[in-house]
Structure 1
Amino acid sequence: MKAAALQQNQHHLNPRTRKLVTYTLFALIPLALLHYYLLVPYPIPIPASTSPSHSQSQIHTTLNPSSSSGVLSHDEHDAVLQPPLKELENVQNQTLPQCDYSSGQWIPDDRGPLYNGTSCHTIKENQNCMAHGRPDTGYLYWRWRPYGCSLPQFDPSSFLQIIRNRHVAFIGDSMARNQAESLMCLLATGSRPELVYRDSAENRYRRWIFRSHNATFSIYWSPFLVKRIEKSEKTGIRHNRVFLDAFDERWINDFESMDVILFSLGHWFLIPGIYYENDQIIGCHVCPEFNHTEIGFFEVFQKAVRSTLDEVRRRHVEGGDGQRERLVAVMTFTQAHFEGDWDKAGSCAKTQPYKEGEVEMEYTTGRMRRTVLDELERMGAHGSRVNGLHFQAVDVTQLAMLRPDGHPGPYMYPDPFGNGKTGDRVQNDCVHWCMPGPVDTFNEILWQLVAQTALFS
């Protein structure tokens, strides 16, 4: 009846009016479509299938130095950023827009972190800034906003659902440990992890399991990724010995059990080291006392990254897993924020992020970041994804560079200014990150990358 009445009314309009109505309708249609697409948030986390992975059909809860093929949540999504589950199911098989998380800005966020310094029991003492008495709290109330897309607040339930029946391994230096502990704190807000292995008081090797999801998370200390004999200041050995064509057996022996691998390295290449290939010394970094060729750390850093990624691809392809999906992600380098020399009471006293343009990326930082990106691009160019092996960069260099306020500074120790100590006599940590703090954003990006690649859907 209404349609008929409308049609009858249209006959009473003069030709000029009818033409105006027609043009108006044609103008409104594209505007409506544009409005719709601008409101659709992306990236969209994809829910994982709950069916067990064939690679994790057996669970081992021990980790030993020789061979442990072991395998071992929660605030809601932002209502505006996260679509209903039905919408997620509809787009699960579609190609989602890729988000460049590396470029953006820090914006104020009054929601604050998901955890605090007392509720999480996996924080390394030196990064527990809240418990150590850091007086300012403004550093907790910022969020990273990428340009052109959204980065949802971390959802422990979503992450654990994606990683159900699988093994996530953090491999590398203390920055890898810092990020792994952050992830455990984030996940613990929804489901309590069970620590099933710890090597010693140093916490260099640890393993947790979330039995509700049969999900395993491990930390492997391996600051060069390749084989090394570490320096020992106590015994007068101040150089690391690094073998660029051999691999750290501690993590490489467990490779087959890993589904998501996160590598983090860089800072240890800046300290004195002797480097080997074919059991022959090819050079030394910062070693004037030896008759060795001085070798730049950029070259050996690139060699370590390349040989590790090549070995990962070789083992994946030759492992007989067919189309098994595996994600290998590499963190990009993050520069320190010392004002002054690190070993001469250099500090990082700022309490707010830098604004864009306030600080420039250091040459070393930029080149090491570029090395990681180039090597990952090379792996993609070799067609590794055809075999179910996915390579990704977790490019946090820019966002980390803008957060001089996110480090422990003097609060790497409890009550650092007690007993009459003054600022010029207190050591600062301007490399690692307070927890909670900016490092939690690293894991928000990791969560999105795992979801985007649809590895486990």
Structure 2
Amino acid sequence: MGTTIQHHRHHFLNIKRIVTYFLYALIPLALLHYFLFSLSTCHSPPPHPNNTVPPSPPSSQAGGGRVVVVEHGGQRCDYSDGRWVFEPRGPLYNGTSCSTIKDGQNCMAHGRPDTGYLRWRWQPAQCDLPAFDPSSFLRLIRNKHVAFVGDSMARNQAESLLCLLATSEPPDLVYRGSSSSNSSDGDGEGDGDGDSSSKFRRWVFPAHNATVSIFWSPFLVKAMEKQEARGVRHNRVFLDAFDERWTSSLGRTDAVVLSVGHWFLLPGIYRENDEIVGCHYCPELNHTDTGFFDVFRKAIRRALREVVDAEKEKVVAATTFSPAHFEGEWDKAGACPKKDPYREGEKVMQYMDNEMRRIVLEEVAAAAAAAGDGGVRFEALDVTKLAMMRPDGHPGPYMYANPFAGGGGGGEGEEMRVQNDCVHWCLPGPVDTFNEILLQLMMRGR
């Protein structure tokens, strides 16, 4: 036994020496990284007079990549990292001035009593994010077509853009329809929609001959969507097949904004090469449970590859995952009750949210490297942190008008039970910031 102990002790000392040498070897590498990083970053701006939250270390380092935009002054900026600061001026539009707001996101018209959620702006840690300039965006897309492709979060962002642009020029709705090629269309499940015709729309800004379209494609690849009313509770996703409802229009688009994520969390069966390769949340089926991270990556990769193959110059921006803020059950009055943004340190990014974000960043970087100096420019619209910090920006119960009229269904002494939306964003609201960043991404290199 004594020999055995001496052997283990000798083995332990050897390991200790190896670890020590390894740590010493890391020191010069760390110093080199710090030196190079210092050269590439900009100086922090003067603090906002209303800002009482200290800047945080860049969050994008932990997510697998830094999203850098070169501004007009040559300043380099990571828009993904920052804090929300009070902005007394408020938004460019409201629920009365913008006619294109989806009913479920028109929180002001539905009687939301507090207005503080309207008066915050995103302050990046190392530079300033310019306010949205609708005239500049319209000039940028003159004679061009911008397509938003994805789920209801893509639509939420598109409708925000329409409201922002409408403050300069009102758009004309020129197409409103649906496609049943591989979708359940009519039931609107998972979307809270109930109107399939809202899933494919197109507007034109006549004075600029500029087009903005919405294409419903919650997986980006071909899918047969679940239909709970008909007993079909699993989405069927074909990982190696295109969704032609949007890919067939790539030759006519000049900018594409991809935004998906939440539908991958739902029960789904995945097929590839004419075989079922697994499923997510399907214990009643005899399939391998594969989770959804790998499936999400394959769908993003497939979509980005299809954009490259379209052989037309364009900008492609992929919006990262936007976290939900449910606290407890979706049908209780306090499902997302907060009235202010999180301050730095109050909220830690959840593992799932960061993984979904990291996958988009990595796949966009890989697509950009593969494209080289070709005609397609890839950008990551990294909004996960800024979205995570805005629990106050959702419709909550105000996805419906006057939700507490008549007691909301709760009896005396019983907690109010109403349906809540803690996923999508009020308009106006935090999603407007997504488009402020989108404008800067599209202007890069001009």
CA distance in 1, matches of 2:275, 2:341: 46
Answer yes or no: is 1:352 the counterpart of 2:340.
yes
The answer for the alignment partner of 1:167 in structure 2 is: 145
Q: Compared with structure 1, are the counterparts of its residues 386 and 207 closer, same or farther at alpha carbon in structure 2 (3 Å cutoff)?
A: same
- Aligned-partner SS, 1:130: coil
What is the aligned counterpart of 1:224 among 219, 233, 242?
Answer: 219
What is the aligned counterpart of 1:195 among 159, 173, 185?
Answer: 173
Identity between Structure 1 and Structure 2 (%): 62
What is the aligned counterpart of 1:103 among 75, 78, 81?
Answer: 81
The answer for the alignment partner of 1:372 in structure 2 is: 360
Q: Post-superposition shift, 1:130?
A: 0.2
Cα distance per residue 1:141-163 (max 9 Å; x no partner): 00001011111111110000011
CA distance in 2, matches of 1:93, 1:371: 26
The answer for the alignment partner of 1:144 in structure 2 is: 122
The answer for the alignment partner of 2:56 in structure 1 is: none
Q: Structure 1 stretches (4+) deviating beyond 2 angstroms?
A: 37-41, 92-98, 341-346
Cα distance per residue 1:248-283 (max 9 Å; x no partner): 111010001111100000000000000000121100
Q: Post-superposition shift, 1:424?
A: 3.3
Answer yes or no: is 1:330 the counterpart of 2:304.
no
Q: Compared with structure 1, are the counterparts of its residues 406 and 375 closer, same or farther at alpha carbon in structure 2 (3 Å cutoff)?
A: same
Which runs of structure 2 are paired with 1:43-442 in the superposition (5 Å)?
96-199=74-177, 201-202=195-196, 203-316=198-311, 321=312, 325-342=313-330, 347-382=335-370, 384-421=371-408, 422=410, 424-442=416-434
CA distance in 2, matches of 1:258, 1:250: 13
CA distance in 1, matches of 2:331, 2:423: 13
- Aligned-partner SS, 2:154: helix
Q: Compared with structure 1, are the counterparts of its residues 224 and 238 closer, same or farther at alpha carbon in structure 2 (3 Å cutoff)?
A: same
Q: Post-superposition shift, 1:96?
A: 3.4
CA distance in 2, matches of 1:157, 1:104: 26
Conserved 8 A contact 2:93-2:428 = yes
CA distance in 1, matches of 2:71, 2:421: 45
Q: Compared with structure 1, are the counterparts of its residues 39 and 301 closer, same or farther at alpha carbon in structure 2 (3 Å cutoff)?
A: closer
Conserved 8 A contact 1:335-1:397 = yes
CA distance in 2, matches of 1:137, 1:229: 40
Q: Post-superposition shift, 1:345?
A: 6.3
Q: Post-superposition shift, 1:205?
A: 0.3
Q: Post-superposition shift, 1:132?
A: 0.3
- Aligned-partner SS, 1:387: coil
Number of matched pairs: 360
Cα distance per residue 1:309-352 (max 9 Å; x no partner): 11221222xxxx5xxx3111100001111111336666111100
Q: Post-superposition shift, 1:453?
A: 3.5
CA distance in 2, matches of 1:445, 1:235: 41
Is the radius of gyration larger for structure 1 or structure 2?
1
Answer yes or no: is 1:447 the counterpart of 2:434.
no
Cα distance per residue 1:292-312 (max 9 Å; x no partner): 111111110011111111122
Q: Compared with structure 1, are the counterparts of its residues 315 and 420 closer, same or farther at alpha carbon in structure 2 (3 Å cutoff)?
A: same
**TM-score normalised by length of structure 2:** 0.78
Q: Compared with structure 1, are the counterparts of its residues 355 and 39 closer, same or farther at alpha carbon in structure 2 (3 Å cutoff)?
A: closer
Q: Compared with structure 1, are the counterparts of its residues 93 and 233 closer, same or farther at alpha carbon in structure 2 (3 Å cutoff)?
A: closer
Q: Compared with structure 1, are the counterparts of its residues 280 and 39 closer, same or farther at alpha carbon in structure 2 (3 Å cutoff)?
A: closer
CA distance in 2, matches of 1:163, 1:385: 24
Conserved 8 A contact 1:204-1:219 = yes
Q: Compared with structure 1, are the counterparts of its residues 190 and 263 closer, same or farther at alpha carbon in structure 2 (3 Å cutoff)?
A: same
Conserved 8 A contact 2:317-2:378 = yes
The answer for the alignment partner of 2:5 in structure 1 is: none
The answer for the alignment partner of 1:15 in structure 2 is: none
- Aligned-partner SS, 2:165: helix
Conserved 8 A contact 1:346-1:427 = no
Unaligned runs of 5+ residues in structure 1 are 1-36, 42-91
- Aligned-partner SS, 1:276: strand
**TM-score normalised by length of structure 1:** 0.76
Conserved 8 A contact 1:96-1:452 = no
